[in-house]
Chains A and B, each alone.
Chain A
Amino acid sequence: MSTTSRTDQPATAAPLADQATISAEIAAHAAEYARSGRERIVPLLDYPPYRSSLLRHPTKAPYQVDPEKLERFAPVFGHSDVDPLEADLTIQHRGEPLGERIVVTGRVTDGDGRPVAHQLVEIWQANSAGRYIHQRDRHPAPLDPNFTGMGRCLTDANGYYRFVTIKPGPYPWRNHTNAWRPSHIHFSLFGTAFTQRLITQMYFPGDPLQPLDPIFQSITDPKAREMLIATYDHDLTQPEWCTGYRWDIVLTGSSRTWMEPTE
């Protein structure tokens, strides 16, 4: 593992593109989407500006299938799986992590707006300096001995999750020269059906790196992209303690109704 270089390099040995080239490719995809007149609210899998996607996207259309009973249910997680303390990423070590303490909270619902209750939410992130604890992260920014950057919780009866953490810093990667990821927190979510499984990233409002980032821009629909940006909420901000962000999550569809024929 120590012999591998940073893992976000493209598979080819071609020299890295510069930001202007990547930005032009991003703009071309955005223009093509605007011209198409159709709505696509999921990321493209075939999105060359994200170089690592070249050999890792299916080229054949997915096959639409009615879910079997198994797929209409999701795994169950409970208090035997998750300790409530795991929702606070600032208390996992002896000392306080460095950086801007924040609370991130929101609601997980299905496509009908019904809460996803008592279900697992997992997050992981870089520290305030933009460094992951992951051994393959070679960014020469400091590790924080008081911050791991991983948390879990269960949603409550109304579908709400809540984490206390540190605002992650942006970090460089090798997709192209001078490539920087906007600040983000990775989120992993389960619904009430297998089909609702979601892994995504939450971004922060007003981040100037978002327009330059091919991962974020792989969602070519501007309104869909906005769904990944949390809202600063002063009502969540706590005096002398931390600032607050709200981010709601909608999982696909309403699996329980697929049992009845529709249309």
Chain B
Amino acid sequence: MTTLRPTPGQTIGPFYGFALPYPGGPELVPPGRAGAIRLHGRVLDGAGEPIPDALIELWQTSPEGEVVQRPGSLRRDGWTFTGWGRCSTDNTGTYSFTTLRPGGPVPFFALTVFARGLLDRLFTRAYLPGSPGLESDPLLSALPADRRETLIAQPDQDGYVFDIHLQGERETVFLIYPGQPTR
């Protein structure tokens, strides 16, 4: 039973760029490694404009479906797959990770979104298109079709594209977990 009130969040602000991004952050595996794929997309505001000062964090299973519990994300050795990465958006609002395809029964990329102008972090999931089990996934099957689409990445030649709309007609479905305070 949770008894303590959680510390509230605050916006990441505009000036995290010298502090949070780090070399190798978006490269969970070196580009070109066998099995390497790209997960990329744009972060967009309610007017459809790209957000050049957002930060995306990725957390995922290994291709075997294992939840990885290994250190080394901040100083990658080029061999250890840690399952976690961090990428800031560029001037076109684009983020891009090099990683491996997640495994498990209904695989997805778990994403955390931060941005200047966004007062608290947002959680979402990017599911892989065509995975068996998508239809019966408890989250996806509970959503209306147009909302469900916002959680499914699109395939491209290198991997997957997943745009994140903070607001607007195509607003991404964001998640809250049981026990978390509501707005």
Q: When the two chains form their complex, are residues B8 and A227 in contact, meaning their CB atoms are under 8 A apart?
A: yes
Task: Pick the contact of A47: B108, B119, B177 (CB < 8 A).
Answer: B119
Interface window among B33-41, B152-160, B168-176: B168-176
Interface window among A14-22, A23-31, A76-84, A95-103: A76-84
**A43 interface hit (Cβ, 8 Å):** yes
Please report the total number of B residues contacting A with Cβ < 8 Å: 78
Q: When the two chains form their complex, are residues B177 and A258 in contact, meaning their CB atoms are under 8 A apart?
A: yes
Contacts of A199 in B (CB 8 A): 9-12, 114, 121
Task: Pick the contact of B179: A223, A228, A254 (CB < 8 A).
Answer: A254
Q: When the two chains form their complex, are residues B18 and A52 in contact, meaning their CB atoms are under 8 A apart?
A: no
Q: When the two chains form their complex, are residues B74 and A197 in contact, meaning their CB atoms are under 8 A apart?
A: no
Contacts of A126 in B (CB 8 A): 15
**B60 interface hit (Cβ, 8 Å):** yes
Q: When the two chains form their complex, are residues B180 and A253 in contact, meaning their CB atoms are under 8 A apart?
A: yes
Task: Pick the contact of A197: B53, B121, B138, B174 (CB < 8 A).
Answer: B121
A44 → chain B closest CB, angstroms: 6
Task: Pick the contact of A82: B51, B74, B83 (CB < 8 A).
Answer: B74
Q: When the two chains form their complex, are residues B174 and A111 in contact, meaning their CB atoms are under 8 A apart?
A: no
Query: Which partner residue on chain B sits nearest A72 by CB separation?
Result: B67
Contacts of A134 in B (CB 8 A): 14-15, 17-18
**A141 interface hit (Cβ, 8 Å):** no
Q: When the two chains form their complex, are residues B19 and A149 in contact, meaning their CB atoms are under 8 A apart?
A: yes
Number of A-B contacts (CB under 8 A): 268
Q: When the two chains form their complex, are residues A136 and B15 in contact, meaning their CB atoms are under 8 A apart?
A: yes
Q: When the two chains form their complex, are residues B2 and A200 in contact, meaning their CB atoms are under 8 A apart?
A: no
Binding site secondary structure of chain A: loop
B132 → chain A closest CB, angstroms: 16
Contacts of A66 in B (CB 8 A): 138, 177-178
**A65 interface hit (Cβ, 8 Å):** yes
A76 and B81 alpha carbons, distance in the complex (Å): 12
Q: When the two chains form their complex, are residues B6 and A77 in contact, meaning their CB atoms are under 8 A apart?
A: no
Q: When the two chains form their complex, are residues B171 and A60 in contact, meaning their CB atoms are under 8 A apart?
A: yes
A69 and B110 alpha carbons, distance in the complex (Å): 11
Task: Pick the contact of A55: B11, B46, B183 (CB < 8 A).
Answer: B46
Q: When the two chains form their complex, are residues A42 and B12 in contact, meaning their CB atoms are under 8 A apart?
A: no
Contacts of B145 in A (CB 8 A): none
A53-86 Cβ-contact flags toward B at 8 Å (1 or 0): 1111111101111111111011111111110000
The 7 listed contacts between A and B (C-beta, < 8 Å) are: A55-B49, A62-B122, A82-B74, A186-B19, A253-B177, A254-B179, A258-B179
